[in-house]
Structure 1
Amino acid sequence: MIERMPSPRNFPEPSLPLWRGRFLVFAGILLVALNMRLAVAGLSPIIPLIQQDFPLSIFAISFLGFIAPLCFALGGIFTPKIARRAGLEYTVVIALTLIIIGHILRATAANWGGLSVGTFLALLGMGFGNVLMPPLVKKYFPDRIPLMTSLYMTLVAISSLLPPLIAVPLSHSISWRGFLGQWGIIAVLALIPWIIEISRNRSAAKAAALAATTEVHPDHVAIWRSSTAWAIAIILAVSSINGYAMFAWMPIILSDISNVSLVQAGALLGVFAAMGAPFALILPMIAARVRRVDYLVHIATACFLVGYAGLIFFPTQATLLWVIIAGSGPLLFPLALVMVNLRTRTPRTSMALSGFATTIAYVVALSGPPALGMLFSVTGNWTAALIFLTVISLSGSAAGIVLARQRIVDDELVRPIS
């Protein structure tokens, strides 16, 4: 039975209207969230259409799937450093600019190299956004952490599910270049509130940036000494390696083992991604109110195990069911991100933990797409690849046991990040 989290919690009770004095930031955070996965899930369903213009080998497809976790890992490494010098708001602008440039380059690519560079830049901007979102919420909405996490994670989920659902039909209608390029419009829209916010508060922003540059930061604090930080990083890693492996290969896997068409496989990938939306909405609220968050981690692990087992043993029967169950496993993703704020005391600790967890998670996730491609090349079927993901998923339960201790990262460090 799930027990309720006792008060007091590690964040203040709601005391202000959601948008009083912070409407621009509210809109800005949600618009950034809507950009966070548009360049990830929409590419694999249209690979055959791109191949009509220029060749893409198994290596090339694997590399395109490899770029997402690589960029998100780089985001975990570099975003905290940039944000300390430029400030959170200016770093958001940098991230969105990279996304816009990336979308343009992808839409105009003449070969695999151009497509890869555009994908890299777009996903690097999204990697910056991954790290920025928790500290932005911590800074501007400390009284609404579960609610804001639910809202932005729901939009992240929508940005994952929408592209694969419409990828093939829209690419046939406006070309694959038009399909990839259109997402830049949303990134341009996301820039507007941040530019206005920075312009309205230019003096304060400059003072904050100067303080951030001259202040002595406790970079030597070893956040890796926190077992809670490692547990959060591991559950984020389990979610990420499964998610990006499926984004890269699920349409091809299902086409091979389940006898579905390319359009149906793209739709099923959309279903897989869509399962994140309801969990993104409710998980942060639940995690803020229950004591035993490890139960949620164990449920997610079980979803991966059952979903992949179904695809291995009954691939042509109840395919939609197995995709839905496996797609429920990434409930670990919103859980990990809300824990970044619920298990820290300050925005700076939140930033440090967000960068640490993101780096670890996506360094691990780097192995996903190429590992699945390699296992298929060696065995000639997808069984070994699905078993690989099943074994990886089991590590989530061990991390859940650590989270059950309910410790705060700051308290586990030799010196808190204040």
Structure 2
Amino acid sequence: MSASTTQTMVRAGARWTPALVALVFLVALNLRPALTSVGPLLPQIGTEEGLRGGVLGLLGALPLLTFAVISTVVHRFSRALGPERVVLFALLLLVAGILIRSYTDNVGLWIGTLVIGAAIAIGNVLVPAIVKRDYSSKVSRATSIYSACMATGASVASAIAVPLSGAAGWRGSLAFWAIPALIVALLWIPRARTREQVVEPAASDHHPATSVWKQPVAWLVTAFMGLQSSTFYFMVTWLPTIEISTDISAGQAGVHLFLYQIVGIAAGLAIPRLMRRPNNQIAATVTASVPMLIGVLGMMFIPGLHAVWAVVAGMGTGASLVVALSLIGLRGRTQHETTELSGMAQSVGYLFASAGPIGAGYLAEGTGGWTIPLLLIALLATAQIVVAIPAGRGRAKATVV
């Protein structure tokens, strides 16, 4: 089969306006607030619900475990129903999960968190594939925009979590994020009414039908995704608690978490400049990976500069997320393969990442401090730098798993 017939697309969505196409960025805006609003409120939740460090870490990591389970099957529902319809379902599921978590008993806290994780897992997998489809000539730039939207939602949620809890309690603070998710779901309905059909042959001379699970480059992308996710979710779960333990106020710790995430937006928007050419991608992956190591080492050895290290680590997080998501779009050769690669990278990656918040919570509880957990994250950040080099080489040279 020739390259010219590798992929045929019948687009019911071709009639969509640019505004409808760009709605995918508003979906991205809702993929993090339900998670990052929890960290600043963990002390309140722990006190009211009688939960200790390790269990609170499990609560923070539970969505990541859900990501690992759900991500591998999302592509099947996408092919059967169409990505637009599945995204609408995910948004409505997100609203339901937020309300269950906020306004039911202790059991509902855990059930709602699971539902939230399932909803976000669907969006995590499908948004990169939709961006690759709709912005195929500008994958890295479009990826930086939607990752900036995720970072914006995440940072705002962190910053206002404590002030909102002062007015409505921690339950009301968490419940607030059902509102924007519902609004975007309503706006998404016109896209869900049409179904995009993608007809992709099983194989071609250039794109053999090899499972992504057997592709070394897919495992490199997965490793990079898992390592950068580990450091990110450790920070959004425990950074406020770490700072509060050093007599920083809860409000100021929330502001520092906001800074950590907001500077990631600028870093994420800048890094695609290094991703444009294949021979620059190693530089991009390494450049994105180094700041997190610097930030964590700073927290360990010069702990008084809380805001500085939050900013430095945030630069690494923002750039690393864009690189990880761009690698999914760039290494996937068709839309279907991109969806499968996205599911694989996020399933295995988030399963690995879930150990960060859980392990850190138990290590801090067992050792009576945060030195050992920070050392663990420093080791993970170092491993990310090592993986960044072969992951940045692409398919032609990335042959080492």
Which category describes the TM-score, using the shorter chain as reference length? Answer: 0.7 to 0.9
Q: Residue 219 of structure 1: CA displacement?
A: 12
Q: Residue 285 of structure 1: CA displacement?
A: 4.2
Which region of structure 1 is more displaced relative to structure 2, 352-361 or 52-61?
A: 52-61
Which region of structure 1 is more displaced relative to structure 2, 173-182 or 292-301?
A: 292-301
Distance in 2 of aligned mates of 1:391 and 1:51: 28
Q: Unmatched 5+ residue regions in structure 1?
A: 1-18, 413-418
- Counterpart of 2:314 in structure 1 is 327
Q: Residue 168 of structure 1: CA displacement?
A: 0.8
Distance in 2 of aligned mates of 1:192 and 1:117: 25
Distance in 1 of aligned mates of 2:202 and 2:144: 34
1:140 pairs with one of 127, 134, 148:
134
1:68-217 paired onto structure 2 within 5 Å? 68-111=63-106, 113-199=107-193, 201=194, 204=195, 208=197
Letter in 1 for 2:191: E
- Counterpart of 1:45 in structure 2 is 40
Letter in 2 for 1:319: H
Question: Given the superposition, is the C-alpha separation of residues 144 and 405 from structure 1 closer, same or farther in structure 2, using an over 3 Å criterion?
Answer: closer
Q: Does 1:224 align with 2:213?
A: yes
Which region of structure 1 is more displaced relative to structure 2, 338-347 or 218-227?
A: 218-227
1:315 pairs with one of 291, 303, 317:
303
- Counterpart of 1:416 in structure 2 is none
1:351-362 paired onto structure 2 within 5 Å? 351-362=339-350
**3-state SS, counterpart of residue 292 of structure 1:** helix
2:225 pairs with one of 220, 227, 236:
236
Kept in 2: contact 1:235–1:333 (CA 8 A) = no
Which region of structure 1 is more displaced relative to structure 2, 280-289 or 245-254?
A: 280-289
Q: Residue 408 of structure 1: CA displacement?
A: 6.2
Distance in 2 of aligned mates of 1:51 and 1:373: 12
Give me the CA root mean square deviation. 2.5
**3-state SS, counterpart of residue 315 of structure 1:** coil
Distance in 2 of aligned mates of 1:261 and 1:61: 19
Kept in 2: contact 1:131–1:354 (CA 8 A) = yes
Distance in 1 of aligned mates of 2:180 and 2:224: 30
Kept in 2: contact 1:150–1:285 (CA 8 A) = no
**3-state SS, counterpart of residue 51 of structure 2:** coil
Question: Given the superposition, is the C-alpha separation of residues 53 and 372 from structure 1 closer, same or farther in structure 2, using an over 3 Å criterion?
Answer: closer
Kept in 2: contact 1:68–1:244 (CA 8 A) = no
**3-state SS, counterpart of residue 144 of structure 1:** helix
Deviations 1:315-344 (A, max 9, x none): 12x221111112222121111101211223
Which region of structure 1 is more displaced relative to structure 2, 151-160 or 54-63?
A: 54-63
- Counterpart of 1:10 in structure 2 is none
2:265 pairs with one of 260, 266, 277:
277
Kept in 2: contact 1:158–1:277 (CA 8 A) = yes
Question: Given the superposition, is the C-alpha separation of residues 390 and 334 from structure 1 closer, same or farther in structure 2, using an over 3 Å criterion?
Answer: same
Distance in 2 of aligned mates of 1:80 and 1:326: 33
Deviations 1:344-364 (A, max 9, x none): 321111111111111121111
Kept in 1: contact 2:88–2:192 (CA 8 A) = no
Distance in 2 of aligned mates of 1:197 and 1:303: 39
Q: Does 1:28 align with 2:23?
A: yes
Distance in 2 of aligned mates of 1:21 and 1:89: 12
1:349 pairs with one of 334, 337, 340:
337
Distance in 1 of aligned mates of 2:316 and 2:264: 9
Letter in 1 for 2:287: I
Distance in 1 of aligned mates of 2:332 and 2:396: 6
Q: Residue 40 of structure 1: CA displacement?
A: 0.9
- Counterpart of 2:4 in structure 1 is none
Kept in 2: contact 1:31–1:189 (CA 8 A) = no
Distance in 2 of aligned mates of 1:326 and 1:31: 25
Question: Given the superposition, is the C-alpha separation of residues 305 and 155 from structure 1 closer, same or farther in structure 2, using an over 3 Å criterion?
Answer: same
Distance in 1 of aligned mates of 2:180 and 2:396: 36
Letter in 1 for 2:141: L
Which region of structure 1 is more displaced relative to structure 2, 70-79 or 281-290?
A: 281-290
Distance in 2 of aligned mates of 1:325 and 1:309: 11
Kept in 2: contact 1:24–1:194 (CA 8 A) = no
Q: Residue 405 of structure 1: CA displacement?
A: 2.7
Question: Given the superposition, is the C-alpha separation of residues 129 and 399 from structure 1 closer, same or farther in structure 2, using an over 3 Å criterion?
Answer: same
Question: Given the superposition, is the C-alpha separation of residues 279 and 324 from structure 1 closer, same or farther in structure 2, using an over 3 Å criterion?
Answer: same
**3-state SS, counterpart of residue 34 of structure 2:** coil
Q: Does 1:58 align with 2:58?
A: no
Question: Given the superposition, is the C-alpha separation of residues 146 and 285 from structure 1 closer, same or farther in structure 2, using an over 3 Å criterion?
Answer: farther
> TM-score, normalization: structure 2?
0.88
Q: Residue 225 of structure 1: CA displacement?
A: 2.8
Letter in 2 for 1:182: F
Q: Residue 55 of structure 1: CA displacement?
A: 2.1
- Counterpart of 2:255 in structure 1 is 267
Letter in 2 for 1:308: V
- Counterpart of 2:244 in structure 1 is 255
What is the number of equivalent residue pairs in this alignment? 382
Question: Given the superposition, is the C-alpha separation of residues 100 and 408 from structure 1 closer, same or farther in structure 2, using an over 3 Å criterion?
Answer: farther
Q: Residue 54 of structure 1: CA displacement?
A: 3.0
Which region of structure 1 is more displaced relative to structure 2, 227-236 or 127-136?
A: 227-236
% identity of equivalent residues: 29
